[in-house]
Structure 1
C-alpha cells in the first residue's frame, strides 16, 4: 500500500562555492571550525548525500523502466486497463520508515531512495508496486479492507520476484530452501497488512493473510506463472 513518513520533494539548499566547501571540509577534519560553520557543513553534507541518493535512485528507476522485462510487461498490462506508468508517477523520495517503496492510488508509486540498495532492488520494488497498481485498476481494491489489502500484498510479493531465492539469501539473510518462497511471501504480506490502520496487530494480519492465501497466491494475473 502506501508508506507514511516520506517527503515527496527533494530539498535543494544553496550550496557553498567549491573553494568555500573545500575550506570547510578541511576545517572540519582538522577540528579548526566554528560551531556555526560545523552546522552549515553538516547541513550541506546531508543535502549532498540526499541529492546523491536521489540521483542514483532516479538512474536505477529510469534504467528499469527502459530495460526491465517484468516492469515493461506490467507497464503494458496496466496501460491496457487505462493506467499510465512513467517517471512522473514513480517518484524517488526520502522515507523515515524502513520500507523500499509504496503505492498510493491518488499519487502513484514512491521509491524510498534511502533504503533501496541496488538497481535490482529498485526493479523488485517497482514491480511490487506495479502489481498493486494493476490490482487497483483491475479489481477496484479497497485498501482499508484487510482482505483486499492482504490479497494484493500476497500477489505482489509472489509475482514481483522479490522472494526469489537469491534475494532471500543476499538481501534478507534467509537460508531456508524448503517452501522458502511461500514463507517469504507470507512474511512480507503480514508485515505490510500489519501497517494498515484498520489492522489491530500482527496476529490479525496473519489470520487475514491465511484466509485469502489459497486464492490469492494462485492468482498470477497478468502472468501465466510466477516470475522466476
Structure 2
C-alpha cells in the first residue's frame, strides 16, 4: 500500500510540472545568426539513491552528451522546490551548453564547477537571502556542492572564483529582473485524483 501511495504522489508531482513557467534569456540588440542546433535535453523525474553522484541531491545534471536533468521525486516536496532546483540545474546547463567556445565550462574541473555552483546557488537556493546573508549562503552552498566532487579542493576552488562568478549574471541582464527581488509566479491548480 505504501509503495502505491508513493507512486501516485510521484505521478501527481510529475503531471504538475507541465504548468511551470519559462525564464527569459537575455538577448543582444544585434541580430546574430541562430546558434547551431543542439541535441534535445530531457528533464526527468526519478527516485534517487543515497550513494554516488545522487548522494543527497534534490536534482542533478547528467552529461554533457547527451545532457539531461534528473529531478529526485523522493526529495522534492513542493512546486517551489522544483522551481528552485530547475533554476539551479539550468544555470549549469547554460554554463556547459550555451556558452560559446572557450567560455563554455567543463564541470569536471574544480574551478569551473565552483564557478558554476556559485552562480547556481546565487540564482536558486540563496536568491531570497538578505543582502547581509547572501554572500555566506552562496559561499556555503557552492562549497558543499563543489566538495561533493572535489572533497579536498572544493572550498579552495570556490574561494578562488567567488568574486568573478558573483559578477557574472549571464544569461540574465539587469533589465530582465530586479536583482534580489523574486517575481511571484502563479501556478495553475492541480487536481487531486
TM-score over 0.5 (shorter chain): yes
Counterpart in the other structure of 2:189: none
* CA distance in structure 2 between the aligned counterparts of 1:95 and 1:82, rounded to whole angstroms: 31
TM-score, length basis structure 1: 0.62
Say if 2:145 is the partner of 1:189. no
Q: 1:6 matched to which residue of 2?
A: none
User: What residue is the counterpart of 2:107 in the other structure?
Assistant: 143
Taking only aligned residues, the RMSD between alpha carbons, in angstroms, comes to 2.7
The question of whether the paired residues in 1 share the 8 Å contact of 2:26 and 2:171 is answered with no
| 1:31-110 → structure 2 map (5 Å cutoff) | 44-46=1-3, 48-64=4-20, 68=21, 71-74=22-25, 82-83=37-38, 89-96=42-49, 97-105=55-63, 106-110=66-70
Aligned-pair CA distance for 1:179: 2.4
Q: How much does 1:51 deviate?
A: 1.5
Q: Which of the pair is proportionally richer in helix?
A: 1
Shift of 1:117: 1.6
**Following the alignment from structure 1 to structure 2, what is the Cα–Cα distance between the partners of residues 220 and 191?**
21
Q: CA deviation at 1:103?
A: 0.8
DSSP 3-state at the match of 1:73: coil
Please, what TM-score do these two structures have when normalized by structure 2?
A: 0.72
Secondary structure (helix, strand or coil) at the match of 2:144 reads: helix
1:107-149 residue CA offsets vs partner (Å, 9 max, x unmatched): 4111111111211110111111111111112133222100000
Q: Tell me, in whole angstroms, the C-alpha distance in 2 between the residues paired with 1:152 and 1:129.
A: 10
Runs of 5+ unmatched residues, structure 2? 29-33, 50-54, 182-193
Instruction: Select the structure of larger CA radius of gyration.
Output: 1
Change beyond 3 A, Cα 1:195–1:134 = same
- Identify if the C-alpha distance between structure 1 residues 89 and 185 changes in structure 2 by more than 3 Å, giving closer, same or farther: same
CA offsets, 1:22-43, max 9 Å, x none? xxxxxxxxxxxxxxxxxxxxxx
Match of 2:191 in 1: none
Unaligned 5+ runs, structure 1: 1-43, 169-176
Q: 1:200 — aligned with what?
A: 151
Task: Tell me if structure 1 keeps the 8 A contact 2:115–2:158.
Answer: yes
Change (3 A) 1:82 1:61: farther
Matched residues in 1 for 2:46 and 2:148: separation?
19
Deviation at 1:75, TM superposition (A): 11
TM-aligned CA deviation for residue 59 of structure 1: 2.8
Query: How far, CA to CA, are the matches of 1:120 and 1:131 in structure 2?
Result: 17
Q: What is the rounded CA distance, in whole Å, between the counterparts of 1:108 and 1:191 in structure 2?
A: 22
Kindly provide the CA deviation profile for residues 4-56 of structure 1, in whole angstroms up to 9, marking residues without a partner as x. xxxxxxxxxxxxxxxxxxxxxxxxxxxxxxxxxxxxxxxx532x133223223
C-alpha contact 1:57 1:122 (8 A) present in aligned 2: no
